[in-house]
Amino acid sequence: MKKKLVIFLLIAIIIISGCSTAYTGLKAALPDLSGKQDGIYRGDYNLSGTPVKVSLDVTLENEKLIQIKIIKHVCSPIGKKAEEIIDSIISRQSLDIDAVSGATGSSKGILKAVENALQ
């Protein structure tokens, strides 16, 4: 019985480690908004190797981010904390934002979805 428990724990650790490294080098950058028309742009991102999926709408006005509305955010309950990052994106007009602690995967997914929306 102990042997099965040890094997189960090792497998669980390997799976969890794989998920946590799936987004280690993932970076998002705000595309050049010069000349981009006002409007609402849809962005999606599926974070490979994790259950995180994000779909959102970005409202652009006078080449500035005015609003980001989450349409769908599939994540763990703690991942919902990442939605706090939206206020920082808008106030700083940047995607160079630190991830929300404990919700790194969802934070990166939101940042990449914004980037995809504006490309």
pLDDT tens for each residue of 77-117: 989 999 999 999 999 999 999 999 989 999 999 999 999 99
What CATH number has the domain bearing residue 111? 3.90.1010
**Containing domain of residue 60, as a range?**
2-118
Residue 76: the pLDDT is 87
- The tally of domains found in the chain comes to 1
Q: List pLDDT tens digits, range 61-70.
A: 999 999 999 9
**Residue with more model confidence, 97 or 14:** 97
37 Cβ contact list (under 8 Å, min separation 6): 60
Confidence category of residue 25, pLDDT binned at 50, 70, 90: confident
Q: Cα–Cα distance between 33 and 93 in angstroms, integer?
A: 11
